Amino acid sequence: MSTLDKARQTQLENIQTKTGKSIAELRTMIDQSGLTKHGEIRQLLIDRLGLSFGDANMLVHYARQTDGQSAAEAAGLLTQDVLREIYTGSKATLRPLHEKVMGVIDTFGAYELVPKKGYVSLRRKKQFAMLGPGTRGRLELSLNMKGLEGTSRLIAQPPGGMCQYKVFLSSLDEVDGELTGWIKQAYESVG
């Protein structure tokens, strides 16, 4: 059994322990929900069962049979693999900050998380944010939205890019109401 398969099996066992439900019961719950979009099902599992984003995301893949070695190869790296890869060495200290930002985003509703080589893209109808390690030991959050005046914190980007603003974060305290408002505006703008 590969390391990926062992990790997935352990995660499935932990999910069953946390929820008190078998994989068959969890699949039935997903099927009976009537939901078809990955992000909506993931949010259902988070809301109803109190699962973390990672556990809910993996369970949706597993239940819908979009997981496994073949899916990993077809899609490139899985999200958790990308996060483990990009948050290593000197960047490892940024992972809790990444998780805190993701926790804020999870409260807004459904979205799709698309792992890239060095960051994750967050999408609804189109991309609303990118999140990953930046320069000088900071987390970089790029936001796709319009209509705000740039500031020293919300840095306006040159026209023509994928995102119009960047925010660099270096501490958990910076994930505050102002930042949450900007992320929510970007999330809602791609509706």
Q: Are 142 and 129 in contact (CB under 8 A)?
A: yes
- Rg, Å, the chain Cα set: 17
Look at residues 160, 166, 159 and name the one whose alpha carbon lies nearest to residue 140.
166
Written as six digits, the tokens of 3 are 């390391």
Owning domain of residue 28: 3-75
Using 50, 70 and 90 to split pLDDT, how confident is the model at 53?
A: confident
CA distance 27 to 126: 29
Assign 109 to helix, strand or coil.
coil
Q: Do 17 and 67 fall into the same domain? A: yes
Q: Do 53 and 113 fall into the same domain? A: no
Q: Are strands 120-123 and 127-133 parallel, antiparallel or unpaired?
A: antiparallel
Q: Do 115 and 172 fall into the same domain? A: yes
Q: Do 69 and 12 fall into the same domain? A: yes
Q: Do 63 and 87 fall into the same domain? A: no
Is the predicted pLDDT of residue 154 greater than 80, yes or no? yes
- Out of 75, 108, 128, a domain closes at 75
Q: Do 104 and 48 fall into the same domain? A: no
Q: Do 62 and 121 fall into the same domain? A: no
Q: Do 87 and 55 fall into the same domain? A: no
- Out of 50, 75, 100, a domain closes at 75
Q: Do 87 and 59 fall into the same domain? A: no
Q: What is the pLDDT of residue 119?
A: 86
Cα torsion 55, 59, 60, 63 to 10°: value is 180
Q: Do 70 and 86 fall into the same domain? A: no
Q: Are 61 and 2 in contact (CB under 8 A)?
A: no
Q: Do 60 and 88 fall into the same domain? A: no
- Out of 75, 96, 112, a domain closes at 75
Is the predicted pLDDT of residue 147 greater than 60, yes or no? yes
Q: Find the mean pLDDT for residues 122-143.
A: 92
Count of structural domains, the chain: 2
Is the whole-model pTM more than 0.95? no
Written as six digits, the tokens of 169 are 């974060």
184 Cβ neighbours under 8 A, 6+ residues apart:
108
Q: Do 17 and 100 fall into the same domain? A: no
pLDDT in tens, 91-111: 999 999 999 999 999 999 988
